[in-house]
A and B are shown apart, each in its own frame.
Chain A
Amino acid sequence: MALYTFALEGRSWATRLHPMTMATVVVCATVIVFSTLHLGVMGATLAALLLFMVVGRLPARTTLAPLVLILPLCFFITLIQTVTQPEQIVASWQVLGREITFSGQGFVLGLRITLRVVLLALTLTFFFTVVHPAKFTKALCDLRMPFKYAYSFTLALRFLPLMLEELTTIKNAQQCRGYDIDRVNPLLRVFRVFPLMVPLVLIALRRAGTIALALDLRAFGARPDRTFFVEVQRGALDVGLRAAAVAAAAVVLGAVIGGWL
């Protein structure tokens, strides 16, 4: 939620970028990190993203906070690679009659994959921080995407926090009746969440029906020549950023195909 609040308030020049510029940056960064695990390339990509964050005066706490959520995944990836890779064994232990090995190469590979995940998460976080959802909808419509599909992005952003609120309400209601999901072990907690999903899905379906009615009452999709209150403009900076992103992706892709990376 806090992510796109920044975009709505327009406190940085970065929020005035054309949404498709940020989309291009995201696509190019994705191409780069999926092309290679070369530390230099990924390090340069990370440096470029952090430079964008500093120059664009994006709030570090808000922008980097989602990375905390992927830390368990990163730890898991590194651990799996470390104990499953067969080469460069630096240590081994006998646990319950089985040999557990610690691979130096696996550890490094795990860190590289972790860096890839961090880069992807960071790129997407930047996108949501900088891009105004309504402007993104407008930009998609400019690309001839039908409004009703383009608008679903904004609608999802609006109702995600609402659904989380509903989930908290249901959880509290169940806790009042003695159904506690917080004070159990993590595995049991996963199973205990499922019963909460039933009322949540029912509430979501009912709400979806009412929202559909509300949309129709406001003439949703009534005219093909729909107008937009928000404006999106492309400036010189947009052209420069797009060109730089595409060039970087092309160079890395070319280097990988050419066998230099």
Chain B
Amino acid sequence: MPILSVRDLTFHYPSASKPTLDGISFDLDRGECLAVFGSAKSTLCLSLVGAIPHLVPGRMQGEVVVEGVSTRSARLAELATKIGMVLQDPENALFNLTLAADVVFGMENLGVPREEMAARLETVLGLVGLQGLGGRMSQELSGGQKQRASVAAVLAMQPTILILDEPTRELDPLGTEEVFGLLARLKARGTTIVIVENDPDQVAPLADRMLLLREGKVAVLAPPREFYATVRDDPKIRFPQVTDLYLALQQRLGLTGPVPITLEEGIQSLGALYRQHARH
């Protein structure tokens, strides 16, 4: 049984003439990572987390089911224990004065006992690599630390699904590395992840499947290798650098092997090509 199920999801903003999401359907299994590209990504995220239809004005059709619970019928507080969302700008997610206060905020709202809060606080700060910084003021943290702190704040509520809407948009390369390192650890622990991210070099090794939305519809939904092979002529899609290089060489040299999406795979593919040419 899928942990997240989206069925014919259509959403109209009040002022829009056309639906922003139009008949979206997909399932997500436990521990799977889905990367989302294209248009209406944030609207999809808001739908998955239940903000649509509960908070965002508009007309929603279809259904989103999170761990067997429809987002239409469940209260946001109930959904918050199943699915959590990390926003683009961590400044907006860290609205308390200290890191610890931000991490415990969600648990406090859910009525978690103090002793359990203390235990979960220690666990999630360790998980995101911010142990010992609980007393630090949120605004004194670096960009990467802030984004990891906002992930910790969501994880403390123990959701099984994590939605991230461009989590590294305002981060430098080091901060981006920190966040993706954390996501890789979370995925290894079995957390289901839906991520909107424009950095193909980081997201390709993490994602199990990639979803391309065009005009609010599912244009491509496939594993990364297949995805990049399908959208190779789409100028709006950025490829991992190694994939870009391989596809360019593939056309010139007539390569037939699988498209590499990580540096390691690229080294293997190009190494094999080099050895083949060296033999001749």
Contact = CB atoms under 8 A, between A and B. Distances in A.
Interface of A: 4-5, 8-9, 133-134, 154-155, 157-159, 161-162, 207, 210-223, 225-231
Nearest 8 pairs between A and B by C-beta? Answer: A222-B77, A218-B106, A219-B109, A219-B77, A229-B104, A210-B92, A219-B80, A223-B111
B110 A223 contact: yes
B221 interface: no
A4 B118 CA distance: 23
Interface string B65-95: 0000000000111001100110101011101
Contacts of B154: 217-218
Interface stretch (B133-141, B207-215, B224-232): B133-141
A217 B76 contact: yes
Given A213-B55, A214-B92, A134 B97 contact: yes
Contacts of B121: 229
B33 interface: no
A219 B139 contact: no
Given A154-B96, A207-B92, A219-B109, 7 more contacts: A8-B98, A134-B98, A158-B96, A214-B92, A219-B76, A222-B77, A229-B100
Given A207-B92, A211-B95, A162 B80 contact: no
B76 A229 contact: no
Given A8-B135, A210-B87, A227-B108, A217 B80 contact: yes
Residue in A157, A162, A210, A231 with the greatest tally of chain B CB atoms within 10 Å: A210
B114 interface: yes
B164 interface: no
A227 B135 contact: no
A113 to B, nearest CB: 35
A213 B109 contact: no
Contacts of A214: 87, 92-93, 95
Contacts of B110: 219, 222-223
Contacts of A225: 111
Contact of A217 (B85, B101, B104): B85
Contact of A218 (B55, B80, B112): B80
Contact of A4 (B92, B97, B139): B97
B46 to A, nearest CB: 8
B117 interface: yes
Contacts of B95: 155, 158-159, 211, 214-215
